Amino acid sequence: MSKDNYNNLAREILQAVGGINNISSVTHCMTRLRFTLKDSSIPKDDEVKKIEGVLGVVRAGGQYQIIIGQTVPKVYETLLKLGNGKIAGSAPIDENLDANAQKEKMTFKRGFNIVLNKVAGSLTPTIPILITAAMFKMLAAICGPTMLNITPTSSDLYKLFTLVGDAGFYFFPVFLGYTSAKQFKTSPMLGMLMGAILLDPNLVKIVTAGKPFTVYGIPMALTNYGNTLIPILLSVWIMSYVERFFKKYVPTSLSTVFVPTLTIAVMIPITLCVLGPLGGFLGDYICNGLLAFGKLGGVWSILAIAIIGAVWEILVISGMHLVIISTMTLLFAQGGHDNFATLGAVAASMACAGMALGAALRIKGKKNKTLVWGYFISNIIGGVTEPSLYGLALRYKRPFLGMMIGGFAGALYAGITHVTAYVMVPVANFLALTAYVGGSTANIVNGIISGVIALIVAAVATYIIGFGKEEEIN
């Protein structure tokens, strides 16, 4: 957006809220201008929403909140300049939390929403990293041997695209350590350090070696944390309390050295021995339960395949899918095919792309549409699902349901038609459907149909379900 556009947007907003004389004060958070107005009846919500550049309006906590998006700081600065010193500004706030939120009664629904908001608040700032990494991985996929074959895997250009794309996702715990620390109001630098500890090459070597290792004498689970989400979020959350404790009791003269040192010293066993492996422990129970469910045969097996299609991406996000991946690998190694887990995983990948497609057709705002179309393209062509999962599913919540419905429908069809996968395809784009090549023509056709069903059903479900009141522009 150009300087003139910011000026025009700020002028229209200023006029819509009743001018300078109706503003007691104004501040902003990550996406919203937050006005305290003398007469809140003056702004007409429908008229404000029609202003180009405005994504929505919320009245909460005694504030009149106009949702702008990530460019809100520039609009805020322009607004203050137009006020010629007559508009009382205040320090920006870090979160999109309403002022009266703490007064609300805690319920399961509110607690669940707080958790999701914290996760979304941690993930949203990382979207530029996800998009950039996804685009480079997409370029590698398009130019590589699986598609146009312009750049062989041995070429420097292919290696460059791959390493840039992989870096964005592999080191995600470090980025998330910073953003989640901002959310939980603890040291961002310590948050990044916790992420770096999880990815340290020495820890990777220990895990790869497979030999027992202890932390202060406590056995450590041998877990690889590259590309993970849950371990660092849990660690930074707990770390916020640990750091707060030491800040309270360590003398100020010693705090610079001892607060961060003691905080990390306490967090190392908590993270490596408890919080980090938690996803794996849960995954063992959930995934083994699904696999046992599938072994019952008949309608139960079909239902288990459909459930895997519905929950697969949730398992991936939390790192709980490794048990099923191990089973898939074993099945392909022993029998050369899989007619169970792969069906659900492929359908889920197509459903993720379908969710992005439905969201792109439904979401408001030119900038948001462009962003979400990018998610769809990086998913369906590049095979990168993270932007869709983190930028849509976790951020807006409701699209997750659309994706699950699509994954369930596509996997259900694959199970009913007894589709068999003959290739373990390590990509989540449209080429994942080549997993069904190797059997009969009917097998290939039904496999492709299952993927198309997953994509279309997810797109339609996401479009119909929408984003909820004001959520699509938050």
The pLDDT score that the predictor gives to residue 107 is 67
Q: Tens digits of per-residue pLDDT, 258-271?
A: 999 999 999 999 99
Provide the annotated active-site residues.
29
Average pLDDT over residues 70-87: 85
Rounded Cα–Cα distance for residues 225 and 301 (Å) = 31
**Mean pLDDT over the full length of the chain:** 86
The pLDDT score that the predictor gives to residue 344 is 94
Between 116 and 277, the more confident residue is 277
The phi, psi pair for 112, rounded to 5°, reads -65, -40
- Cβ atoms of residues 234 and 274 within 8 Å: no
Pick the CATH number of 3-91 from 3.30.1370.100, 3.30.70.1230, 3.30.1360.60, 3.90.1200.10: 3.30.1360.60
Q: Where are the domains of the chain?
A: 3-91, 116-284, 295-473
Residue 34, classed as helix, strand or coil, is: strand
Residue 40: pLDDT band with limits 50, 70, 90: confident
One-letter amino acid at 220 equals M
Is it the case that residue 63 has pLDDT exceeding 90?
no
The phi, psi pair for 30, rounded to 5°, reads -70, -30
The structure's pTM equals 0.67
One-letter amino acid at 377 equals I
The pLDDT score that the predictor gives to residue 96 is 46
Rounded Cα–Cα distance for residues 360 and 387 (Å) = 13
- What sign does the CA torsion over 172, 154, 434, 287 have? negative
**Which two structure tokens, joined as six digits, stand for 100?**
């009266």
Closest to 452 measured CA to CA, from 349, 312, 376, 362: 349
